[in-house]
Amino acid sequence: NAGVTQTPKFQVLKTGQSMTLQCAQDMNHNSMYWYRQDPGMGLRLIYYSASEGTTDKGEVPNGYNVSRLNKREFSLRLESAAPSQTSVYFCASMGLRYEQYFGPGTRLTVT
Amino acid sequence: QKEVEQNSGPLSVPEGAIASLNCTYSDRGSQSFFWYRQYSGKSPELIMSIYSNGDKEDGRFTAQLNKASQYVSLLIRDSQPSDSATYLCAVLNAGNNRKLIWGLGTSLAVNP
């Protein structure tokens, strides 16, 4: 089992460019999440998908869109990147006892 | 606003000592509690979960939960330099059991 995988690991964008972060899990979990983590700010929820076919906003959804492609995959899209979106992005899925499992993260820099 | 509070640290302990990490939460209805370890530059890793009052032991780790006091702690016995990391406390949102509420983490340094 690979658990939660994310691509890419690193990305540098110019302001205004777009990109999609990919996430997949092989644990047959229903719920999936996108977080960002910034120094001193902790983990902040961007969007989540409680089950296939549903998505909901978290604390900081502005500037992002998501797609729950199927039960395994949950992608995060930045349509027009801004320097404020420079961060580390983590995808996670939730197990049967509400515990979350994280992917390795994507380090994004927007210049 | 539901909150989870942790001392930011750094908490510094000598090798072989007991490290005690604390977490308080505001959501009185919460029923599920988690401790994660995060090494610098890595993703959070689940190390303990606890769902009922009392102690739960797993190797050198003990989680303690007191729902009446809204307090959860993590004890690390025989601390090793490899335990140096940030420890995140997370609490299940009682109003939405698809969401965790996260503390900002406590930085632990174990000195050889």
pLDDT at B2: 83
Question: Is residue A40 pLDDT above 90, yes or no?
Answer: no
Q: How far is residue A111's CA from residue B63's CA, in Å, rounded to a whole number?
A: 43
Question: Is residue B8 pLDDT above 90, yes or no?
Answer: no
Q: Between chains, do B42 and A105 touch, taking CB under 8 Å as contact?
A: yes
Residue to substitute from A100, A101, A106, A107, interface B, most B β-carbons within 10 A = A100
For residue A40, the chain B residue with the least C-alpha distance is B104
Question: Is residue A1 pLDDT above 80, yes or no?
Answer: no
CB B11 within 8 A of CB B105: no
Question: Is residue A68 pLDDT above 90, yes or no?
Answer: yes
pLDDT at B1: 80
| B92: helix, strand or coil | strand
pLDDT at A25: 98
Residue with token string 């009922």:
B52
Question: Is residue B35 pLDDT above 80, yes or no?
Answer: yes
